Chains A and B, each alone.
Chain A
Amino acid sequence: MSLSRRQLLHAAGAASLGAATTQRLHRRSAAAQTAGDKEPVTIQFWTHDQNYIDFFTARAAELTESPDSPYAYELNITQAPSADIITKAVAAYSAGRGIPDTVGIEISQFSRFMQRGVAEQTLLDLTDRVAELRDQFFESRWAPYTVDGRVYAVESGYPLSVYYYRQDLLDEYGVETPLETWDQVMQIGREVVVPQGKAMAAISTTGGQGGGDITQFGLLFQQRGGTFFDAAGNLTLDTPEAVEVAELLATGLQEGTILGLTDFYGGPGAAAMQQGATVGYFMPDWFETYVLQPTVPDQEGLWRIQPLPAFAGGGSRTSVWGGTGFAVSRDSPVAEATWELLRYGYLTRDGQIKRWQEIKYLPTMAEVWDDPALTGPDPFLGGQEAGQVYKELAPTAPTQYQSPFWNQLTVELAGQLAELYNGRTSPADAIKNAAAAIQAEMG
């Protein structure tokens, strides 16, 4: 039998392919592979936060080296601001091409996926995949990424809120810490701190989705026991708790105990921090790594944290604000490999500990809080064991429910809060008007 050159090449190719297939099957079953033998996978990784890029790049490298993973990962990064990255993703899903394999959805952007079946049509339903693990995590961090009972993203952190304060300044003014109640904070502000030309806290008054910023209002509202929407998606804004929080902020701004910043995260916010215009902030955990450390590195060792001062009327000593859920695109050609990376990074004990160690985002897995790795001293906080503070607060954090009408909430509430902060309306009217306007849009 004679073979032409072409036939010979075809035969050789088929033999190689067969051998490779056999080898792959063997590899998977044996689960013992070297990086060179693995299936190469390039993941289109979209996010707004450099921390996630660093974290998942490290996890991808580990999985590529691991004998337990069949994939050799490469991440193709797309980074843009949190709203823009979702706009880009929505456009890609609509076009049906150029979609991300995984996308980090900042919590306030997730409501866009809650519109009339968008999540179902674009994101991989993770409900069954996380079913066995779900109980090991704080249930409150599944809720923000759940639509019609189905989970579509995995939370990147536990944004527990605390009161950050300048220990050196409060020592100088003779103020004893921790501060126990908001009434105490306001009184100390009026009597001690404001006369020094400083405020007890700063809030963001503009710059958010609706041109205003509801961050600090929302944070305190949830601490006080309120929620914007309930689990069923009904608006639950117009409550005495909301009025109480609005009154606290408006009074604080009028008296100067609270400083209003038009660009909290920009130049004016940085100026306030650098000049020590306020002795404290009430913000989530990410405020330290995302804002404080990069803005005032020279103030290392001067800051401390404590649980949020309590409201006399009740509520928790902490709150939640922010967060990012990572989702896998339903039509991703490498959905399984992407899910494997996400599972390894976020849903394992090691991944949760590494996330805290490397990018300082708090664990959402309950049992991890007992790990000694979380209880080390934080140099920026003067050696304080920040993990210990957060550990005590973690079980009491409120749940933030989402709604397709989050954008409407932000716009209307921000507008009414602006009126309130300018002294043109009362706290009760601001809340009532905002609730009525949102309800009207909800139909």
Chain B
Amino acid sequence: MAVSVDERAGTGRGADRALVPPRPRSLGAWWRRHERRLAPYLFVAPFFVLFAVFMAYPVANALWLSLHEWTGLGAMEWVGWDNYGEVLRDASFHHAAANTAWYAAASLFVICPLALLLALALNSRRVAAKDLLRTGYFIPVVLSPVVIALMFTIIFDQEFGLMNAGLRGLLGIRPINWLGSPEWARLVIIIILVWRWTGYIMIYFLAGLQNIPRELYEAAQLDGAGSWRLFWNITLPLLRPVTAFVAVVVLIGASQIFEEPYILTNGGPGEATLSIANYVQREGFERLNFGYAATASFILFAFVFLVTQVQIRFFGIGREQEG
């Protein structure tokens, strides 16, 4: 138990304690005595204060909320872990989880390789107008989601869309119901993801490529290495830290995908494009099941955490430093 200086001073002195006048102290003197010990904590305090207020408290509160039923108004009703069982049995959550897995897989296995290819192309000495191309690839990231929704709705409309017009004109294919058919709608979402995020991921790879010393390539070329061997034996191994970072970030981002399905299909048709984040939003704000929505969020967190751990082991993140 902590004991104050005053209490310690008073111990054993009995009634005399009241007669001893308190030692005059100023804040300045106190600070001078403790400055060396406290200063470092004050320097790091802003982060911890902000973290506690804007991260730790909301997360703890959401965890508490996930153990209740609550419409957002009035008293919360304690349901314990029931919400977790119900969410895990909910067919809609299963649909959302499956769709989210599709989006995550597409992000990892389509966007990342494409981004790497683009980065390799832009890193090549033979490509001109690199700045223009880089800007062009990056533009989708900064475009408003509303503009994206409008644009892709028009492109993929069954009757009046550019895509069907092109397919009909070039290949004579009958109009495809891109946004009204579950499989096609899911594919359209993945196309948007690829279009929107490939340029962004490319920037990371490009930065990684530009950090690989040219001398390594020159030395390998003197030893007779071809393009494929250069890529396989120099580029890929030296890009490993960037690849690991990108893989983790992309997986986390794809698991939380919300905007693309929301603006284009609103999760439909039915629940064919519903992501877990859409599901959380729907349960929380449209159906006012805030406890249930918080539960789904924590299940998503647990899933992403586990997969990220697998990724970290796969890429050996942190092992170099330990070695």
Q: How many chain B residues touch A (Cβ–Cβ < 8 Å)?
A: 37
Docked CA distance A417–B154 (Å): 22
Interface residue? A207 (CB, 8 A)? yes
Q: Is the CB of B282 within 8 A of A407?
A: yes
Chain A: residues with Cβ within 8 Å of the partner, total of 45
In the complex, chain B residues whose CB is within 8 Å of the CB of A414:
268-270
Closest residue on chain B to residue A88 by CB atoms: B285
A87–B286 CA distance with the chains assembled, in angstroms: 7
Of A21-29, A181-189, A208-216, A242-250, the stretch lying at the interface with chain B is A208-216
Provide the bound-state CA to CA distance between A260 and B157, in Å: 10
Task: Give the docked Cα–Cα distance between A94 and B273 (Å).
Answer: 30
| Contact status B153-A415, CB under 8 Å | no
Q: Evaluate whether A118 and B177 lie within 8 angstroms (CB atoms) in the complex, with A211-B274, A268-B154, A407-B287 already known.
A: no
Is B154 within 8 A of A267, CB to CB? yes
Chain A residue with the shortest CB-CB distance to B281: A87
Whether B84 is near chain A, meaning CB under 8 Å from some CB there, is: no
Q: In the bound complex, what is the Cα–Cα distance between A212 and B71 (angstroms)?
A: 26
Count A/B pairs, Cβ under 8 Å: 139
Chain A binding surface SS class: helix
Q: Check B159–A415 contact: CB distance below 8 A.
A: no
Q: Roughly how many angstroms separate A419 CA and B159 CA in the complex, as a whole number?
A: 18
List A contacts of B91 (CB < 8 A).
Answer: 437
A residues in contact with B269, CB < 8 Å: 205-206, 210-212, 414-415, 417-419
Query: Which residues of chain B have C-beta atoms less than 8 A from A91's C-beta?
Result: 72
Q: Take A93-B73, A115-B71, A418-B269 as given contacts and tell me if A268 and B287 are in contact as well, using a CB distance cutoff of 8 Å.
A: no
> Contacts of A260 on B, CB cut-off 8 Å?
158-159, 177, 180
A411 and B157 form a contact (CB under 8 A) = no
Query: 1/0 contact trace for B46-77 toward A, CB 8 Å?
Result: 00000000000000000000000001111000
B181 closest partner in A (C-beta): A422
For the complex, what is the distance from the CA of A121 to the CA of B70, rounded to whole Å? 13
Contact yes or no, B160 A211, CB < 8 A: no
CA distance A267 to B159 in the complex (A): 11
Chain A positions within 8 Å of B287 at CB level: 112, 115, 407-408
Asked if B182 is at the interface of the complex by the 8 Å CB criterion, the answer is yes
The winner among B92, B178, B272, B288 for most chain A CB atoms within 10 A is B288
Q: Which residues of A contact B (CB under 8 A)?
A: 83, 87, 90-91, 93-94, 112, 115-118, 121-122, 205-212, 259-263, 266-268, 271-272, 277, 407-408, 411-412, 414-419, 421-422, 437
**Footprint of A on B, CB under 8 Å?**
71-74, 91-92, 150, 153-154, 156-161, 177-182, 185, 265-274, 282, 285-288
A–B Cβ pairs within 8 angstroms, 17 of them? A83-B286, A87-B285, A90-B285, A206-B180, A209-B266, A211-B265, A211-B267, A212-B269, A260-B158, A262-B156, A267-B157, A268-B154, A415-B272, A418-B182, A419-B182, A419-B269, A422-B180
Q: Identify 14 new A-B residue pairs, CB closer than 8 A, beyond the known A90-B285, A267-B153.
A: A91-B72, A93-B72, A117-B71, A118-B73, A121-B74, A208-B266, A211-B265, A212-B270, A262-B159, A262-B177, A266-B154, A268-B161, A416-B270, A417-B269
